[in-house]
Amino acid sequence: MHTFAALARVAYCPRQYYYARQDEDWTPPPDVRRRRDLAFRYPTLRRASDADLATEPISRSPAAYRAALDRLASREDWDALVDPAARGVVLEGRECRGVAHKILDGDPPTPTFVSPGRPPAEGVWRPQRVRAVAMAKALAWEREREVPAAVVEYPAHGVVRGVRLTTRNRAAYRKTVRTLREIDGPPPRIDDEDKCDACDYRERCGVRTRSLRSLLGL
Ligand code: SF4
């Protein structure tokens, strides 16, 4: 059975997934855990002083961060976000399994993924859309009911975004599952400078970083 983390890696870059699988490298580093922890302290952080927020791994100024949390508090699901029905739940679906960081109570229930990173200008990044679909499908399988959406939280930025199981998002999920099933050797490199620059495997992969390319005048 595929894991949510594996699917997200494949959606980012199949070759990166191949390296991570070789290394069995799936454990988030401590700084990721610190940023994820912010998603479980929104009310406290909303009231925190500038000095207190300065010690937190947030990616905005204290004032901008509190303003972002104020906007979050106007969401319909705010109460569920700060007091979820369950935390760190392992979901077992028909074809994928993995951890949902929260399950928001409601009719229907909603799983959330807490990202340590930054959100895109709109929506969520493709690997997280694929993960969100996988989480919603797994929860639907367990509860034997429709789960039409999932949520991605970016707590270091005070941003929360929903992902609906649209035809487009389901198609992205299916394509990723197919790609994952077909990987039996190193997949080709992707042609995406931004992704490669952020990839921990770029040296092993043989991809030059942007800074090295500019040094070499390439
Ligand atoms: S450096 Fe680029 S091509 Fe290579 S594994 Fe990373 S993201 Fe994929």
* Tens digits of residue pLDDT in 170-195: 999 999 999 999 999 999 999 899 99
Q: Is the CB of 13 under 6 A from ligand 1?
A: yes
Percent of the chain with pLDDT over 70: 95
- Return d(Cα 62, Cα 211) in angstroms, integer: 31
Cβ-count burial of 179 within 10 angstroms (0-12 exposed, 13-18 middle, 19+ buried)?
middle
Q: Is the CB of 183 under 6 A from ligand 1?
A: no
Nearest protein CA to atom 2 of ligand 1, as residue: 196
| Mean pLDDT, rounded, of the chain | 93
The phi, psi pair for 126, rounded to 5°, reads -55, -45
pLDDT bucket at 209, cuts 50 / 70 / 90: low
| pLDDT exceeds cutoff 50 at 144 | yes
Nearest protein CA to atom 5 of ligand 1, as residue: 16
Return the best residue to mutate from 17, 200, 205 for the ligand 1 pocket (most ligand atoms within 8 A of CB): 205
| Cα angle, residue 192 at apex, residues 189 and 197 outer, rounded to 5° | 95
pLDDT bucket at 213, cuts 50 / 70 / 90: low
The answer to whether 158 touches 152, Cβ cutoff 8 Å, is: no
Beta strands, E only, the chain: 2-3, 86-92, 96-104, 110-114, 149-154, 159-164
Nearest protein CA to atom 7 of ligand 1, as residue: 196
| Cα angle, residue 32 at apex, residues 85 and 80 outer, rounded to 5° | 20
- 180-211 CB burial, b ≥16 within 10 A, e <16: beeeeeebeebeeeeebeebebbeebebbeee
